[in-house]
Amino acid sequence: MIKVVVEFVAEATVKTTAYVYDDDDALVDPAGCTAGAEKCVSLKITDHDGTVLVPSEGDGDDIMTRSDKGIYEHYLYTDADYVKGWYQGQVKTTDGQGTTAKVSFGHFSFRIK
């Protein structure tokens, strides 16, 4: 489940929180992750033209930060020059490694006004 507030004014902070649950609805870290568990949960945010804003160049795929067991967060800081309009987001969770890994996607959108 991804929790997102839908509208923000420019100069706001857009917080994305991803919750990772197992089959019994318990919060869990993805299997196969160690101390750097946030690398198993990645985030992509694009603007209305399809330009990738997050991760930005040089960020890599591990920009979501583990705040607690099964909870991962990212903060997007906007300013007055941010383009107004709708943005699309995708959280990708990889549970396990190699050919047996299970990959799940969550999609969301938000607007800067």
35: exposed, middle or buried (Cβ count in 10 Å: 0-12, 13-18, 19+): exposed
Q: By the 8 A CB rule, do 72 and 41 touch?
A: yes
pLDDT given for residue 37 in this prediction: 44
User: Where does 73-113 have alpha helices with state H?
Assistant: none
Per-residue pLDDT of the chain (113 residues; tens, 9 = 90+): 555 568 888 888 888 998 988 888 899 888 766 555 446 888 999 998 998 888 866 566 657 888 999 899 999 999 888 889 999 999 988 887 778 878 889 999 999 98
pLDDT given for residue 97 in this prediction: 75
How many domains would you assign to the chain? 1
Domain CATH number, residue 22? 2.60.40.1930
Print the domain residue range for 67.
Answer: 2-112
pLDDT given for residue 4 in this prediction: 55
pLDDT given for residue 111 in this prediction: 92
pLDDT given for residue 40 in this prediction: 81
Q: By the 8 A CB rule, do 94 and 106 touch?
A: no
Q: What is the pTM of this model?
A: 0.81
How many CB atoms lie under 10 A from the CB of residue 80?
Answer: 7
| Residue 5 DSSP symbol | -
110: exposed, middle or buried (Cβ count in 10 Å: 0-12, 13-18, 19+): middle
pLDDT given for residue 66 in this prediction: 86
Copy the structure tokens of residue 20.
């990772």
pLDDT given for residue 59 in this prediction: 62
Biggest CA–CA distance in the chain, Å, is 45
Q: By the 8 A CB rule, do 110 and 8 touch?
A: yes
Amino acid at 5: V
